[in-house]
Amino acid sequence: MPMLLWAGGFTIERVVPSKRAASPPLGRARCGWVPAGDGEYARYHDEEWGRPVREDRRLFEMLTLEGAQAGLSWSTILRKRAAYRKAFAGFDPAKVARFDARRRAALLQDSGIVRNRLKIDSTVSNARAFLAVQREFGSFSRYLWDWVGGRPVRNGWRTRSRVPARSELSDRISRDLKKRGFRFVGSTITYAYLQAVGVVNDHTAGCYLYQARRAAARVARKASRS
């Protein structure tokens, strides 16, 4: 879940955010970290969080946003997301990796993003590390999903209070990312990242998406026996 709220079982390879005109139904039972009545938060939960992402640019986007969130609420980052996309070249890691000192200094004046020098500098160095992973593995997606054999870890937590802030998996990936030169990738941030991009599915039992996942699994088991 998003941190403050630290911000899948679904075979969706790439999620394209919906038009703002279509508001999600706010009466649905969702994970406990979604604020009641917040349509933008609900949309993020319904359409993105926990759904498997395998497209590299989006993986870099979420890695950047999760790092930017450190010490802040996810709602702060969510509302700055469009500005981040503009500031960081649509999250194209090849372009971000070329940001020089002048470009980074200009970003410190951009009120649309979190104006933190360490976070801005780390986004640029992370882009370079991201490109190195792509060269080694063919794609960052392959690197990331190899940690779980290509299949999401589907947890079955009953309540929000049972969802961990980190795990053995996030510990291992965090250590490896740090060795590769990534920053703002501590285990807690890494676990939030794994949740966000669907490597780990942590929708809790009372959430309608958890129930949909269980219903789909029952249908699949029934079909396999017939």
pLDDT of 2 reads 57
Q: 89: domain range?
A: 39-225
Of residues 44, 145, 157, 191, which has the active-site annotation?
44
Is 11 among the domain residues?
no
pLDDT tens sequence across 164-178: 999 999 999 999 999
Q: Tell me whether residue 40 is one of the annotated catalytic residues.
A: no
pLDDT(22) > 70: no
Residue 137 — very low, low, confident or very high, per pLDDT cuts 50/70/90?
A: very high
Is 12 among the domain residues?
no
Is 156 among the domain residues?
yes
**CA–CA dist 169, 185 (Å, integer):** 13
Chain-centroid distance, C-alpha 150: 17
Q: Tell me whether residue 145 is one of the annotated catalytic residues.
A: no
**Stretch 1-26: mean pLDDT:** 43
3-class DSSP state of 7: coil
pLDDT of 110 reads 98
Q: Tell me whether residue 48 is one of the annotated catalytic residues.
A: no
Domains held by the chain: number? 1
Q: Pinpoint the alpha helices (H) of the chain.
A: 39-47, 56-69, 74-79, 81-87, 93-96, 101-107, 117-137, 140-146, 168-179, 187-196, 208-225
Of residues 6, 41, 49, 74, which has the active-site annotation?
74
pTM for the predicted model, two decimal places: 0.85
Is 181 among the domain residues?
yes
How high is the mean pLDDT of the chain? Answer: 87
pLDDT(5) > 80: no
CATH number at residue 96: 1.10.340.30
